[in-house]
Structure 1
Amino acid sequence: MDQQEALTHCITTSNTTHPEIDEPYKGKVRDVYSLNEKTLGIVVTDRISAFDHIMRQAIPFKGQILNQLSEFSFNKVEDIVPSHIIDVPHPNVTIAKKCNPIPIEVVIRGYLTGHAWRVYRSGAREICGVRMPDGMIEHQKFPEPILTPATKATEGHDEDISEEEILNQNIVEKELWNRIRSVAFQLYERGTKIAEEQGLILVDTKYEFGIYEGELTLIDEVHTSDSSRYFYLDGYEERQKNREPQRQLSKEFLREWLMEHDFQGKDGQTLPDLPDQFRWSIYQRYSELFETLTGNSFEPKIIRNISSDLDQIFEKYV
């Protein structure tokens, strides 16, 4: 694999020349095309975001890894809740059911890490209406996993919200919310079991849901390195005892790199450029997580003309 060629051929955007397909909705990572009244074409690009900002430089093969890891993980939980996947006809493309999205990110945290730790370190002992025990240290396991929802922002930062506020503001009806929270904890339990079998700890993760033909449906992605944080199981207890940093597979290392370069997404801060070698190291971490979780080797494929690929794939759905 030619490293420079891979860095040059990242997929940062997509388009199709099909006359009946409109411009896509562009999220932080995905370009989403409406193919017909029931079907979406989702292109998982190589864009990467942190602190709700999209980096100017993309990560080679990141989209392929996320797309294929999501397919693997959706299949592992299909007995708990239906997913939006119809087909994965291309390394970067998923054909999906067009769901009515629920505007809440459902975050399950098993450990005091990341955003929860930053809240805790500030002196607060409550997050999203959930009380956190006193006397905890960073990366410590909670007595029980906690649910810390966030509003799904179309622009800017997602905002923490309590379950009580979700119901009081009628964002989600109570019966549906009870179903969502039950499913979310079941998904986290399943993800935890799969991770443990591969020598990992599923630290925290987020789920997104929609409604398809009246049925609760899991959408977006599941148990990937963009939506989840993983620690290595081996040595976890020893590192905790010695107050040492945990070895992890997640985007946290990108956030830490950005903070070291004086960027946390705050007003007045300048987004730094990602050096090529750092971009390659990020790809290697994504690839490692894919191979660790799935037990399969990752076979990268350089995509030279995503638009032409999309024209052929989408034609059968329009």
Structure 2
Amino acid sequence: MSLANKVLAVNNDLPIRTNSPVHSGKVRSVYWLTDADSQRLIRERGYDVASDAPLAIMVISDRISAFDCIWHGEGGMNGVPGKGAALNAISNHWFKLFREQGLADSHILEIPHPFVWIVQKARPVMIEAICRQYITGSMWRAYSKGEREFCGIRIAEGLDKDQRLPELLITPSTKGILKGIPGVPEADDVNITRQNIEDNFEAFNFSRKEDIDYYERLLKEGFDVISAELEKLDQIFVDTKFEFGYVTDASGQEKLIYMDEVGTPDSSRIWDGASYREGKVVENSKEGFRQLLLNHFPDPDILLNKDRMAERQALAQDNALPESVLMAVSKTYVDIAEKITGQTLVMSDNPKAEIIEILRDQFGLID
């Protein structure tokens, strides 16, 4: 079987029973189940959720996005072999650890296949919760141009590129376009301060003002748990993005949970510890792919300049990357997943057929 066939690039065409359009993001597709199927699964599987909670099937793909574009390779390779399974395996590992250590639950109710989550609908907090332990990437670019205040926090003079920060820095940004918040531009992904959040907590979808402290605690504790585990593997947890939402459990209690993915090479930077001590950065995350793209094209400004989005999309559509590039990315993802989970990643020959069979035979979700 060719490599291209092993890649699950299109994940929004599965015959899962639904009354709603399939929502397809950069990497995952979400199938909202019918009310009848949601209620049946809650009963049959004993999920700790409200009896009328909407459930969804979330299917990951092997697509790779960077700089807000989806990239593809030669020979019809529309994704990275093993990437989806690696991302899910890593997220599942951290979510399990969070639960064991009493941090908070996630939106995941069950994992029937390495590519699939059964999730409950959460009311998202409209914040991309980013925390940084090292100064690198966009923060370093801004710092090197003289910026010293990030999300309302002043940071020290004299820092070097890729240096560890004196403390973990929380630099949140907006998730989606939020309207009518004083001092917050109506644009996706703009930096905000803690004061912005406190003054307008309801606009960011917090139920109570005191939940801001709780979200920050979950952010720091989640970061520390992952960082400590990676340290045992001589890997450095550089920075990451968390997302949060509210759900209601079977007893009617509302709770704040982790949602989306956590601690993956897509949502985080992970560096090799031994290389860092020798003064060089070796990325075990998607950042390596971003750097490769910046070096691959003669005009990297297209990838960095938001005003050149049309050119950037054309670049991604018109340029099939060499197979060797996508296989190098595959190796990064698979290696770090196996290192974190301590298990060999099972690469599926035909993930789509497997998913359909499981959801039909075990869950009765396919006609």
Structure-2-length-normalised TM-score: 0.78
1:189-268 → structure 2 map (5 Å cutoff):
189-213=224-248, 214-239=254-279, 245-260=280-295, 261=297, 262=300, 263-264=302-303, 266=306, 267=308, 268=311
Letter in 1 for 2:103: I
1:242 alignment counterpart = none
Query: Per-residue displacement from partner, 1:13-68 (whole Å, max 9, x unpaired)?
Result: 22232444433211111101112343121101111111222224311121111111
2:23 alignment counterpart = 25
**Is 1:46 aligned to residue 62 of structure 2?**
yes
2:183 alignment counterpart = none
2:364 alignment counterpart = 315
Q: Is the 8 A contact 2:112 2:358 kept in 1?
A: no
2:49 alignment counterpart = none
**Is 1:288 aligned to residue 323 of structure 2?**
no
Structure 1 window deviating more from structure 2 (23-32 vs 254-263): it is: 254-263
1:101-250 → structure 2 map (5 Å cutoff):
101-153=124-176, 158-170=189-201, 171=204, 172=206, 173-213=208-248, 214-239=254-279, 245-250=280-285
Query: Per-residue displacement from partner, 1:236-263 (whole Å, max 9, x unpaired)?
Result: 2331xxxxx3112111111112222134
The separation in 2 between residues aligned to 1:247 and 1:59, in whole angstroms, is: 20
Q: Is the 8 A contact 2:219 2:242 kept in 1?
A: yes
Tell me: CA distance 1:130–1:302, structure 2 relative to 1, closer, same or farther (3 Å).
Answer: farther
The separation in 1 between residues aligned to 2:30 and 2:117, in whole angstroms, is: 10
Q: CA deviation at 1:9?
A: 3.2
Letter in 1 for 2:231: E
Q: Provide the aligned length of Structure 1 versus Structure 2.
A: 310
Q: Is the 8 A contact 1:16 1:311 kept in 2?
A: no
Q: CA deviation at 1:91?
A: 1.5
Query: Per-residue displacement from partner, 1:198-223 (whole Å, max 9, x unpaired)?
Result: 11111111111110111001111111
Q: Is the 8 A contact 1:150 1:158 kept in 2?
A: yes
The separation in 2 between residues aligned to 1:225 and 1:315, in whole angstroms, is: 33
Q: CA deviation at 1:288?
A: 1.0
Structure-1-length-normalised TM-score: 0.90
Structure 2 residue corresponding to 1:16, chosen from 14, 17, 40: 14
The separation in 1 between residues aligned to 2:330 and 2:104, in whole angstroms, is: 30
Letter in 2 for 1:281: A
Q: Is the 8 A contact 1:17 1:311 kept in 2?
A: no
The separation in 2 between residues aligned to 1:97 and 1:287, in whole angstroms, is: 28
Structure 1 window deviating more from structure 2 (114-123 vs 200-209): it is: 114-123
The separation in 2 between residues aligned to 1:205 and 1:148, in whole angstroms, is: 10
Q: Is the 8 A contact 1:203 1:229 kept in 2?
A: yes
SS for the counterpart of 2:321 is: coil
SS for the counterpart of 1:144 is: strand
Tell me: CA distance 1:101–1:310, structure 2 relative to 1, closer, same or farther (3 Å).
Answer: farther
**Is 1:6 aligned to residue 54 of structure 2?**
no
Structure 1 window deviating more from structure 2 (39-48 vs 304-313): it is: 304-313
**Is 1:277 aligned to residue 324 of structure 2?**
yes
Tell me: CA distance 1:264–1:310, structure 2 relative to 1, closer, same or farther (3 Å).
Answer: farther
**Is 1:55 aligned to residue 104 of structure 2?**
no
Letter in 1 for 2:162: H
Tell me: CA distance 1:164–1:314, structure 2 relative to 1, closer, same or farther (3 Å).
Answer: farther
Q: Is the 8 A contact 1:52 1:157 kept in 2?
A: no
Structure with more helix by fraction: 2
Letter in 2 for 1:160: N
When Rg is computed on C-alpha atoms for both structures, the one with the higher figure is 2
Structure 1 window deviating more from structure 2 (91-100 vs 163-172): it is: 163-172
The separation in 2 between residues aligned to 1:277 and 1:235, in whole angstroms, is: 23
Identity among equivalent positions (%) equals 30
Over the residues paired in the alignment, what is the CA RMSD in angstroms? 2.3
Where do 5+ consecutive residues of structure 1 fail to align? 240-244
The separation in 1 between residues aligned to 2:199 and 2:123, in whole angstroms, is: 21
Tell me: CA distance 1:19–1:235, structure 2 relative to 1, closer, same or farther (3 Å).
Answer: closer
**Is 1:64 aligned to residue 85 of structure 2?**
yes
The separation in 2 between residues aligned to 1:157 and 1:286, in whole angstroms, is: 28
Q: Is the 8 A contact 1:128 1:149 kept in 2?
A: yes
Tell me: CA distance 1:84–1:188, structure 2 relative to 1, closer, same or farther (3 Å).
Answer: same
